[in-house]
Structure 1
Amino acid sequence: MDLRTDVRLLHFQLRNIMGCASRTAVYYPCTSGTVRELDPTTGHVKTAMKFKNNEDASVSTLAAEEGILVTGSFYGTYRYRPIETENESCYYDGRLTDHPSGITNHVQINSSRRSSVPLAAFASNDFGFRVVDLARNEIVLDKMHDYALNCTALSPDKRLRVMVGDLQDVLITDAETGEILQRLGGHRDYGFACDWAQDGWTVATGNQDKSIRIWDARKWKNSKGEGISVAVMRAEMAGVRSLSFSPLGSGKRLLLAAEEADVINVIDAQTFDSKQTIDVFGELAGVSFTSAGQEVVALTSDPVRGGVLSLERCDYGAESTFGYTPGQHPQDYGWVTPGYDWLPTPEQVVDHPKTQVTLTQKRRQAAMAEDWFF
């Protein structure tokens, strides 16, 4: 735990202001009006982004992916810079909207489906959803809705997008046009968190009704045209503000569900029938997997006991002596079924372009885990 009393949390609902580029680079907005970069392994801190005025420094969302650091503000503006650039003054600015309620509620960075061009998808409080081409600093999609959008997540094939916002329904849209394809009912309050797993069809949404619903993209609705969630789990104390599936190649499927404050739920994303609850202290400002899923990093904003918390997975690499055959683990350590990771076999996992490990690394991790268990 790196104690950080300078975390700047400006909104009581928006809790996506932490970005993790790697286990040695965690980004967050601070009270000095800058974005800082912390290395949790050494405790070293440096300035990652400076702002010209207080309006731009009012960061409401932040992401660090695809080699780019992006922030969105309370006033409809955004700023980004390449992470590898050492000069914190080398950045690009833009404006999404002039609307008085133009808060950028959420941003996700991904590469284009048709090229390697980095894109930033902004969900805004003025009912707008916009995609910015970061290579040209140009808005390439501007789609207005009938409600504020609070979070979006792109499917692994980059064709679909899940959206939640100030409505009870979950929206499934065409990622390139923004057209709404499906409306899924079931939640009983507004939504603030969503994520799309690397298997391509598992989707999670979290709303203020204190529920986490799991959807299957292969069958959104039943024969009556009603949205059907394949699993429903309850939060402990409050609505879920952040959801994150474990990355491909990290072993057992997990889902992180960070509540508004004090509680991080680590859910079994293979069965969705059990979870581990981690108690922390303070308002949660973000949560993420790092190190190919080996670690979990969380940002809390308590002015006295806040900071960056790093947790290591004890079962990382333990995959029943690296076998995917149905059966029981020796010494009753649990059941192992096909699809333990997000793809059926280890070879498919390590061959996928999104994986962060090799087959040799996974075998070594499994061997080390066996030595630790026995």
Structure 2
Amino acid sequence: MEQFQNQELEYVVDDYYDVTDFEDDDVTPRSGTSSFDDDDSMDSDFEDDFELSKPKTDTSALEVRNGKDIQGIPWERLNFTREKYRESRLKQYKNYENLSTSREDLEKECKEVEKGHNFYDFQFNTRLVKSTIVHFQAIKFAAFFGAKLCLRSRTAVLSEQLADKGSIPYASNWKFFHFQLRNLLWATSKHDVYLMQNYSVMHWSSLLRRGKEVLNVAKPITPTLKYPGCLAQPLSRVQISTMTVKDNLMVAGGFQGELICKYIDQPGVAFCTKISTDENAITNAVDIYRNPSGAMRVMTANNDAQVRVMDAVNFTCLNRFTFPWSVNNTSVSPDGKLLAVLGDSPECLIADAQSGKVIGNLKGHLDYSFASAWHPEGHILATGNQDTTCRLWDVRNLSESIAVLKGRMGAIRAVKFTSDGRYMAMAEPADFVHVFDTQSDYSKGQEIDLFGEIAGISFSPDTEALFVGVADRTYGSLLEFNRRRYDHYLDCMV
């Protein structure tokens, strides 16, 4: 994706690894990073195998029934089959870990799931809009021979070791992306989807099959809401880290603690500001919910270990809660009373949504957590973790999780329930989305198998559609799946 020229390393991945004795043209992913064995995990693996000038067409359900790949990948023209390439990806993929806790007994805890079910059928894939995940670049990062680049907790530290006398300084291009935040796609109806594409928030109409820019965050943003005491301030060149859309309000967070609030049906941006001046204040998650009295609220989870609650009308900060670690995700229960707090800790917390007081600890995960969702009935909470599992908890008994669902190869970066509670979907960082039937006690599942980084997943509010955003330079796209109703209708031939 297009980059602004940063003159220093701004943000990097969680945890740390050391790079020593590096060379200009020899930058390879380290063991433990969430990537494949290539120089840029966001780039397509297929570009060298066929002409890039080939027209990039969309894919319909009819074409898939006639043998076309759902992403339009021409396997028949490649030197390997889809099955062989899948086998290779599974072998090469290395799940990112913050904590090196033993996972030997994890498999024993995981629920046996009967795969092969089809709850959502493929409907359409478009490349007219393409999901993207934010990259960060360090341009011409000067280092001396023998210097060690230490990447720790999203902060760059250059610790120079003693160099031999007469060593020659050189410059090297480094490219990183924050691969742990994957809430960059939201459906407000079965025909309307909002997603990040480079520096634009795009609206896709699956009915008209047309995309339209809703917000450009590369340009200066001036808030329209002004009143005495308002903390709004202009922003520019924002790199979006997370977003949500609900009840005509779109809220987006940025990698430098920015917050942007825009009403979808109105021009301009109602409110924007930097909610923290902390150097490590990434806005990791945003949520729109209603409190027990019905008032709409905006909640932000930041890397400065704070959760902020704001009024969704005048955007004043009503409360802030501080926790012992960076907060990666929050979600409020359907009745607005309980708050799930997840972050840079194996433990997840349940707090009072009004006061922020911790009332329960969820123990069982082995690494940091980045995703959560409540079942619409309000008793079951799902949490996604870098230990490759999603745990289900009954908040009426927090002593242990009631089920553990495992991914195929990577961390669980996104979790969603349908509004009727019938299905739950969880997404890995790349290649796999899993859908579970909750009425079968999560024992029946559908595995959606694709290729590419997953930028986000979203069910439509009426449960009829499931959208998946794929981030890839060549095959980046938006995939649509429709709920199977087990009625026999003639397929639409559009």
TM-score (norm 1): 0.78
Return the alpha-carbon distance in structure 1 between the equivalents of residues 321 and 240 of structure 2: 23
- Work out whether 1:18 is the aligned partner of 2:185: yes
- Partner of 1:262 in structure 2? 431
Bigger RCO of structures 1 and 2 (CA < 8 A, at least 6 apart): 2
Choose which of 387, 403, 406 in structure 2 pairs with 1:234. Answer: 406
The answer for the alignment partner of 2:73 in structure 1 is: none
Match of 2:416 in 1: 244
* CA displacement at 1:5 relative to structure 2: 6.3
Structure 1 Cα separation of the partners of residues 260 and 203 of structure 2 = 16
Where does the alignment leave 5 or more consecutive residues of structure 2 unmatched?
Answer: 1-124, 135-177, 221-234
Letter in 1 for 2:290: S
Q: Which residue of 1 aligns with 2:215?
A: 49
Q: Distance in 2 between matches of 1:96 and 1:21?
A: 26
Structure 2 contact 419–461 (Cα < 8 Å) conserved: no
Q: In structure 2, what is the Cα distance between the partners aligned to 1:113 and 1:107? A: 19
- Superposition map of 1:214-363 within 5 A: 214-221=392-399, 228-248=400-420, 253-270=422-439, 271-290=441-460, 292-315=462-485
Matched, 1:83 2:83: no
Q: Distance in 1 between matches of 2:423 and 2:251?
A: 26
Q: Which 5+ residue runs of structure 1 have no aligned equivalent? A: 222-227, 319-368
Give the match for residue 298 of structure 2: 120
Equivalent residue runs for 1:165-244 within 5 Å:
165-221=343-399, 228-244=400-416
Residue 370 of structure 1 deviates from its aligned partner by 7.1
Pick aligned residue for 1:103 from 275, 278, 282: 282
Aligned length: 307
RMSD across aligned C-alpha pairs, in angstroms? 1.8
CA distance in 2, matches of 1:122, 1:108: 7
Find the counterpart in structure 2 of residue 7 from structure 1.
131
| CA distance in structure 1 between the aligned counterparts of 2:341 and 2:413, rounded to whole angstroms | 14
Q: Is the 8 A contact 1:173 1:182 kept in 2?
A: yes
For 2:404, the aligned partner's letter is V
Contact 2:253 2:259 in 1 (8 A): yes
Q: How far, CA to CA, are the matches of 1:232 and 1:23 in structure 2?
A: 30
Q: Is the contact made by 1:94 and 1:137 (CA closer than 8 Å) also made in structure 2? A: no
**Paired position in structure 1 for 2:249:** 68
Please tell me the residue identity of whatever aligns with 2:483.
R
1:73 CA drift (Å)? 0.5
Distance 1:291 1:93 in 2: 27
Q: How far did residue 291 of structure 1 move? A: 5.0
Asked whether the 8 Å contact 1:57–1:73 carries over to 2, the reply is yes
Amino acid at match of 2:292: R
**1:216-236 per-position Cα deviation (integer Å, ceiling 9, x unaligned):** 112112xxxxxx111111110
Q: Sort the Cα spacing of 1:168 and 1:55 in 2 relative to 1 into closer, same or farther, 3 A.
A: farther
Taking structure 2 as the reference length, what is the TM-score of the superposition? 0.60
Verify the 8 A CA contact 1:214 1:231 in the aligned structure 2: yes
The CA deviation at 1:287 is 0.4
Counterpart secondary structure, 2:462: helix
Alpha carbons 1:34, 1:57 under 8 Å: kept:
no
- 8 Å contact kept, 1:58–1:73: yes
What's the counterpart of residue 196 of structure 2?
29
CA distance in 1, matches of 2:339, 2:356: 8
More strand by share: 1
Amino acid at match of 2:132: R
Deviation of 1:55 after TM superposition, in Å, equals 5.2
Q: Deviations over 1:37-84 (max 9, x none)?
A: 111222211121133348553000010112201111011111111122
Which protein shows a greater Rg?
2
SS at match of 1:167: coil
Corresponding residue for residue 135 of structure 1: 313
